[in-house]
């Protein structure tokens, strides 16, 4: 009798502890905890209304140029507020009616070849990630041509550095490029190489650099062979006006002005 009472008491306790309704509620709560995602933490890149904020540097607007019948669509940031560029762009120009924002209304660049512009784009917006840009001599000349024309100083400096290595053994090329694109160190180096070499200037070389220049180089050759005058000093004296003008142009270019 006592044993049976004890058993009934235990069963009553178990029923109260494992009430089916209590068990279902417990399972329901557990499933909700497992299935519901945790609340999102506040993100400084998201506004209060849930719209993402544009990154200040890497949300890029584009611009469309037309060059010799070809359309180029590139990021506009390298062209913003460039005084040497034919069109003044700013980052606030929007809408299809704005020139450069639509294929049917591109910015037409005149006096520029498709090849030259394409080579400049290879440097400004490379399509592959690499340590160096493997451009040919002619491609680098394209970069130098347009970067000088439009005062893109970073591209100009890079082109000069690359061409300096490619033209190191060609004094005629250095003189021609130095005259056309105002690079004084190429003029000095080219004149010195011609003045110091044992071989005289040929008629073809004289035609390329022009006869007055060839004659002045001959004067330098004579001076350094018949006197103790330093070659660099002789060059600076003979080509004083040209070198002064080119160096002034380089300084003006570096300061943001132009010759």
| 130-163 tens-digit pLDDT | 777 789 999 999 999 999 999 999 999 999 999 9
Tens of pLDDT, residues 160-204: 999 999 999 999 999 999 999 999 999 999 999 999 999 999 999
Q: Return the domain boundaries, the chain.
A: 170-254
Q: What is the pLDDT of residue 34?
A: 52
Tell me what the mean pLDDT of segment 210-235 comes to: 94
In this structure, are residues 109 and 86 in contact, taking their beta carbons and an 8 Å threshold?
A: yes
Write out pLDDT tens, residues 11-22: 454 454 445 554
pLDDT band at 27 (very low <50, low <70, confident <90, very high): very low
Query: CB within 8 A of 34, min separation 6: which ones?
Result: none
- Non-local (6+) Cβ contacts of 200 within 8 A are 218
CA-to-CA dists, residue 49 to 27, 42, 46, 105, angstroms: 35, 12, 8, 35
Of the two residues 146 and 82, the one the predictor is more confident about is: 146
Sheet strands side by side (includes 107-108) = 70-75, 62-67, 107-108
Give dist(CA 11, CA 249) in Å, integer. 104
Q: How far apart are CA 140 and CA 250, in angstroms?
A: 19
| Mean pLDDT estimate for the chain | 82
What Cα–Cα distance (Å) separates residue 75 from each residue in 56, 139, 141, 210? 14, 21, 23, 42
Separation CA 250–CA 182 (nearest Å): 7
Q: Give the per-residue pLDDT at 89.
A: 73
Q: How far apart are CA 21 and CA 92, in angstroms?
A: 64
pTM of the model: 0.75
Work out the number of other CB atoms within 10 angstroms of the CB of residue 144.
25
Residue 170 burial by CB count (10 A; 0-12/13-18/19+): exposed, middle or buried? middle
Q: Binning pLDDT at 50, 70 and 90, where does residue 47 land?
A: low
């Amino acid at each position: 009798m006592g044993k049976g009472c004890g058993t009934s008491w235990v069963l009553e306790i178990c029923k109260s502890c494992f009430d089916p309704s209590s068990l279902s509620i417990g399972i329901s709560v557990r499933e909700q905890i497992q299935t519901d995602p945790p609340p999102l933490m506040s993100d400084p890149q998201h506004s209060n209304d849930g719209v993402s904020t544009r990154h200040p540097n890497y949300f890029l607007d584009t611009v469309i140029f037309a060059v010799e019948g070809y359309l180029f669509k590139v990021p506009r940031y390298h062209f913003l507020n460039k005084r040497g560029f034919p069109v003044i762009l700013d980052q606030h120009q929007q809408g299809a009616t704005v020139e450069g924002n639509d294929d049917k209304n591109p910015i037409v660049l005149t006096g520029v070849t498709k090849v030259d512009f394409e080579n400049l784009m290879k440097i400004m917006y490379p399509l592959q990630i690499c340590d160096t840009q493997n451009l040919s001599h002619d491609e680098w000349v394209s970069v130098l041509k347009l970067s000088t024309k439009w005062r893109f100083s970073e591209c100009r400096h890079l082109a000069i550095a690359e061409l300096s290595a490619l033209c190191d053994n060609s004094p005629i090329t250095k003189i021609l490029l130095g005259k056309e694109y105002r690079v004084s160190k190429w003029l000095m180096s080219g004149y010195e190489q011609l003045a110091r070499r044992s071989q005289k200037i040929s008629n073809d070389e004289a035609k390329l650099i022009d006869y007055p220049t060839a004659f002045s180089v001959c004067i330098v050759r004579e001076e350094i062979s018949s006197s103790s005058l330093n070659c660099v000093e002789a060059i600076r004296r003979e080509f004083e006006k040209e070198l002064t003008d080119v160096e002034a142009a380089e300084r003006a270019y570096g300061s943001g002005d132009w010759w």
